[in-house]
Amino acid sequence: MTEHSGIELAPSILASNFAQLAADAREALQGGGTLLHIDVMDGHFVPNITLGPPLVASLRKALPDVTFDCHLMIENPDNLIPAFAESGANWISVHQEACVHLDRTLHLIEQHGCKPAVVINPATPVHTLDDVLDIVHHVLVMSVNPGFGGQKFIRNALKKMQALAQIRERRGLHFRIEVDGGVALDTVADVVRAGAEILVAGSAVFGHGDIAGHAKRLLEAARAAKLACA
């Protein structure tokens, strides 16, 4: 589970075929994915239900070494953080909008041996994170309203990634910037130019057959955009 300084692709298994989840995930990793993004939805915080700790535990058995990036779109995440950590999560992100005691929740994630991260919805401003940016491993900027894969990219998210990169520089912080939602060949250069380093992609990777090939092309486009702005 190496840390990377450059661009990383985090295939979102939400768009995979759950009946062959491990095989699909392996293909995405063969195509250059270095993390697996795991979307957890509770039917309350978002209007959809996906998966829970038992599935993460099974996937962990099938893929012992890959970093699991667990995106919790749930109310009261404190109740489930221990179970996700126990099941094999490495990174756990929680929504700013779902956490009344965000600082406590982020520390709870850390106490369970995982990297803590915070997520903001498209309508949530970056300044709401001012007081936790020094304790998070990464910030996840939603570029769709969470709940479903395959939605249209919301361009306002680009400004938020730029703002986060500037704040990080100004304050000498080290959090990484992740983007989630509508990342595909037509948007990937923009998110990289805006400062995103960890790119979540669901339908663009799993939605059209040849999973490894789609992952590879998306990553190549991202790295080319990064080189072009260097």
Is residue 95 part of the contact set for Zn ion (CB under 5 A)? no
Smaller CB separation from Zn ion, 141 or 169: 141
Q: Let me know: does 106 contact 116? Beta carbons within 8 Å.
A: yes
- Mask: binding to Zn ion, 172-191, rule CB under 5 A, as x and -? --------x-----------
Cα–Cα dist 118/163, whole Å = 15
Active-site option among 24, 42, 69, 180: 180
Smaller CB separation from Zn ion, 197 or 224: 197
| Stretch 20-49 residues interacting with ligand DX5 (CB under 6 A) | 37, 39
Is residue 201 part of the contact set for ligand DX5 (CB under 6 A)? yes
Q: Let me know: does 45 contact 71? Beta carbons within 8 Å.
A: no
Other C-beta atoms within 10 Å of 114: how many?
21
Nearest residue (beta carbon) to Zn ion:
71
Identified binder of Zn ion from the candidate list 39, 42, 69, 190, rule CB under 5 A? 39
Question: Token pair of 193, please?
Answer: 């130019």
Active-site option among 39, 42, 69, 190: 39
Q: What's the half-sphere exposure (Cβ side, CA atoms, 13 Å) at 176?
A: 17
List, edge to edge, every strand of the sheet that includes 138-142: 8-11, 198-201, 176-180, 138-142, 115-120, 91-95, 67-73, 35-41
Smaller CB separation from ligand DX5, 31 or 181: 181
Identified binder of ligand DX5 from the candidate list 25, 33, 71, 136, rule CB under 6 A? 71
Cα–Cα dist 94/197, whole Å = 19
| Stretch 192-221 residues interacting with Zn ion (CB under 5 A) | none
Is residue 71 part of the contact set for Zn ion (CB under 5 A)? yes
In the block, tokens 């992609």 appear at 201
Footprint on this chain of ligand DX5 (rule: CB under 6 A): 12, 14-15, 37, 39, 71, 144, 146-147, 149-151, 180-183, 200-204
